[in-house]
């Protein structure tokens, strides 16, 4: 099915072709006609499914058709949870909008950098603003933009917006918008809080859901390698050299681990760089761009890069540390195998992490064999669970002493210790 059959203008069909979109994905096939008709839309699809283009193409067409030729006013607002996703979505919109006549202006705003250049960039107005909630509110308070003309609202990665604690900011933004508008709600998962937000925001929405089926799963080879925790860095070096990966994204649990592992790799002759929230926005942008340009072979990152990072033709990702949840696992491995490409996702499974990985497998309906690499066979065994509980609770959740209980016990112990001293003093 060609893009032209979905109701897009010739200019946007041409723009899609220029952007490398060969044929519509299932989420695009379902979403584009519904959005063009002005309906509210709830979209749910796996990572790498083409959700951005699914709303970007029809949104641009609607804005072009409703252009009045007067001063630019913000008519479309796209809210995203992270700076990296804001930059990515904004660039997709800009690349598509440049083929339109007259071209539409896209402003990209997020925190972590100076607000002044963003205020200057909004002079003369903008047709579309892609923003993180906090910086958007800052710009409104500085009178750098107004939201009274917004006719289209997009919440992208809505589950992540709530995970990162943007609920209050989101409600403040919604209060500034006109009551009559089109709402587009996209989320990879729908826990109760996300579903409640969607129910309150959308009016008779068209639901476009692309379930996980064998026919639309990304071509990602998933592997689980058993290894001792102390030998993971050596194994990582071995895999990078064995497979000669041009680029690999390595996920770790902490900022410290990102710095530590990257440094070890770099000293071993592998061009590796850390990427995490502790870096300045300029440093983060630079690392990402250099990674895309293949100037870094390995980027060691926290879950900051698990969503909203689109790196074309990324051959592999490695879970050096396992993710906290099965949902995070899906988003991590979804950085490879994008846009019809194939990829490899490797998870290092230590003895202590085996039970957790089994839970991830259960949630994702997986059953991966535990591989052993010659020279890296594991020798560690999982630490046994505690058999005694000093508090006498058996470790049962809900039976452990609370903070108040501990304070009362400490006060009682102090009072008991003071009694003999007082007796001695008075004798």
**Mean pLDDT across the stretch 408-419?**
52
Confidence of residue 181 (pLDDT cuts 50, 70, 90): very high
Confidence of residue 217 (pLDDT cuts 50, 70, 90): low
Asked whether residue 426 carries a pLDDT value surpassing 50, the answer given is no
Asked whether residue 87 carries a pLDDT value surpassing 70, the answer given is yes
The most confident of the ranges 154-168, 234-248, 296-310 is 234-248
Percent of residues, the chain, with pLDDT higher than 90: 57
pLDDT of residue 387: 58
Task: Quote the Cα angle for 69-71-74, to 5°.
Answer: 105
pLDDT of residue 219: 81
pLDDT of residue 412: 53
Asked whether residue 390 carries a pLDDT value surpassing 70, the answer given is no
DSSP track, 256-307: HHHHHHHHHHHHTT--EEEE-TTS-HHHHHHHHHHHHTTS-SEEEE-GGGSS
Cβ-based neighbours of 302, under 8 Å, separated by 6 or more:
251, 252, 253, 254, 255, 258, 275, 276, 277
Confidence of residue 69 (pLDDT cuts 50, 70, 90): confident
Range in 30-34, 309-313, 316-320, 348-352 the model is least confident about = 309-313
pLDDT of residue 409: 56
Structure tokens given for 34: 């519904």
Structure tokens given for 120: 């200057």
Q: How deeply is 291 buried, as exposed, middle or buried, from its count of CB atoms within 10 A (0-12, 13-18, 19+)? A: buried
Residue pointed to by tokens 């990515």: 88
pLDDT of residue 210: 78
Asked whether residue 420 carries a pLDDT value surpassing 50, the answer given is no
Range in 79-93, 201-215, 337-351 the model is least confident about = 201-215
pLDDT of residue 309: 74
pLDDT of residue 22: 77
Cβ-based neighbours of 350, under 8 Å, separated by 6 or more:
226, 227, 228, 229, 232, 378, 380
**Mean pLDDT across the stretch 100-127?**
92
Confidence of residue 411 (pLDDT cuts 50, 70, 90): low
Asked whether residue 157 carries a pLDDT value surpassing 90, the answer given is no
Range in 34-38, 145-149, 348-352, 381-385 the model is least confident about = 381-385
Asked whether residue 64 carries a pLDDT value surpassing 70, the answer given is yes
Structure tokens given for 103: 């071209």
**Mean pLDDT across the stretch 208-234?**
82
**Mean pLDDT across the stretch 214-224?**
74
Cα 253 to Cα 323: distance, rounded to the nearest angstrom: 7
Asked whether residue 214 carries a pLDDT value surpassing 50, the answer given is no
Confidence of residue 413 (pLDDT cuts 50, 70, 90): low
Confidence of residue 77 (pLDDT cuts 50, 70, 90): very high
**Mean pLDDT across the stretch 222-243?**
96
Confidence of residue 320 (pLDDT cuts 50, 70, 90): very high
**Mean pLDDT across the stretch 11-31?**
87
Range in 233-237, 296-300, 328-332 the model is least confident about = 328-332
Asked whether residue 395 carries a pLDDT value surpassing 50, the answer given is no
Asked whether residue 45 carries a pLDDT value surpassing 90, the answer given is no
Cα 427 to Cα 425: distance, rounded to the nearest angstrom: 6
**Mean pLDDT across the stretch 117-133?**
94
The residue ranking higher by pLDDT, 216 or 119, is: 119
Cα 271 to Cα 295: distance, rounded to the nearest angstrom: 8
Asked whether residue 81 carries a pLDDT value surpassing 70, the answer given is yes
**Mean pLDDT across the stretch 138-163?**
92
Asked whether residue 218 carries a pLDDT value surpassing 70, the answer given is no
CB 62 within 8 A of CB 134: no
Asked whether residue 18 carries a pLDDT value surpassing 90, the answer given is no
Q: Which of 197, 195, 126 is nearest to 166 (CA)?
A: 197
Across the chain, mean pLDDT equals 86
pLDDT of residue 23: 84
Enumerate domains of the chain plus CATH numbers: 3-209 (3.40.50.300), 219-371 (3.40.50.300)
């Amino acid at each position: 099915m060609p893009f032209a059959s979905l109701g897009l203008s010739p200019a946007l069909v041409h723009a899609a072709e220029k952007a490398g979109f060969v044929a519509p994905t299932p989420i695009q096939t379902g979403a584009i006609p519904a959005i063009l008709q002005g309906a509210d839309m709830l979209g749910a699809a796996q990572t790498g499914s083409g959700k951005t283009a699914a709303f970007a193409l029809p949104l641009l067409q609607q804005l072009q058709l409703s252009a009045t030729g007067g001063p630019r006013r913000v008519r479309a607002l796209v809210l995203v949870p992270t700076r990296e996703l804001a930059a990515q979505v904004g660039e997709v919109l800009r690349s598509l909008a440049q083929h339109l006549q007259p071209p539409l202006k896209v402003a990209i705003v997020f925190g972590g950098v100076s607000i002044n250049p963003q205020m200057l960039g909004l002079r003369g107005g903008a047709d579309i603003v892609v923003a993180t909630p906090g910086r958007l509110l800052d710009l409104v308070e500085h009178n750098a933009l107004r939201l009274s003309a917004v006719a289209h609202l997009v919440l992208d990665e809505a589950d992540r917006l709530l995970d990162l604690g943007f609920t209050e900011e989101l409600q403040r933004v919604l209060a500034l918008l006109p009551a009559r508008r089109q709402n587009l709600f996209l989320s990879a998962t729908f826990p109760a809080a996300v579903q409640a937000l969607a129910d309150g925001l959308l009016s008779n929405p068209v639901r476009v859901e692309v379930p996980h089926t064998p026919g639309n799963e990304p071509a990602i080879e998933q592997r689980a390698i058993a290894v001792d925790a102390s030998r993971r860095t050596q194994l990582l070096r071995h895999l990078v050299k064995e497979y000669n990966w041009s680029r690999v994204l390595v996920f770790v649990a902490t900022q410290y681990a990102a710095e530590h592992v990257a440094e070890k790799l770099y000293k071993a002759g592998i061009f590796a760089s850390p990427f995490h929230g502790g870096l300045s926005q300029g440093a983060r942008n630079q690392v990402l761009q250099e990674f895309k340009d293949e100037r870094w072979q390995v980027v060691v990152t926290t879950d900051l890069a698990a969503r909203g990072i689109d790196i074309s033709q990324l051959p592999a990702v490695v879970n050096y540390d396992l993710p906290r949840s099965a949902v995070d696992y899906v988003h991590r491995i979804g950085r490879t195998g994008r846009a019809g490409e194939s990829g490899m996702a490797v998870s290092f499974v230590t003895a202590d992490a085996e039970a957790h990985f089994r839970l991830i497998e259960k949630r994702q309906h997986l059953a991966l064999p535990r591989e052993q690499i010659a020279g890296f066979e594991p020798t560690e065994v999982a630490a046994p669970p505690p058999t005694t509980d000093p508090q006498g609770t058996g470790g049962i959740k809900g039976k452990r002493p609370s903070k108040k209980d501990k304070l009362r016990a400490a006060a009682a112990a102090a009072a008991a210790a003071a009694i003999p001293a007082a007796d001695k003093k008075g004798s």
